[in-house]
Amino acid sequence: MEHPNLSYIHSMSGGDKAFEQKLIDIIKLEFPQEKEIYYANYAANNFKQAAENVHKLKHKISILGLEKSYAIAVAFEENLLEGNTHLNDEFESILNTITNYLQQL
């Protein structure tokens, strides 16, 4: 499994540490909230809304350098729009990996 990293944030910042920290702080604030909303919609079988939640979350997946995980999120979003929950376990594993990583920052 791939691991989250800050390479993309570093490349965007041009060495501006304050900018990097601001982005990290935003992700650390928004990610847990977006994740909980996703879980609530998924648990309620509101798959169209859950797909929209995945759409928002996949941007953070990308920013954290998780290319393979991003591809899984794209496929999972499409599945949810069709009422198909295939890839849920993989997506939840990605969310857990990111949660653990953000707690260490």
* Structural domain boundaries enclosing 67: 47-105
Whether 5 is in a domain gets the answer no
The fraction of the chain above a pLDDT of 90, given in percent, is: 98
Residue 10 lies in a domain: no
Model-level pTM? 0.93
Query: How many domains are contained in the chain?
Result: 1
Q: DSSP H helical segments within the chain, as ranges? A: 7-13, 17-43, 47-63, 67-81, 88-104
In a domain, 15, yes or no: no
At 51-94, the pLDDT tens digits run 999 999 999 999 999 999 999 999 999 999 999 999 999 999 99
Q: Residue 4 falls within a domain, yes or no?
A: no
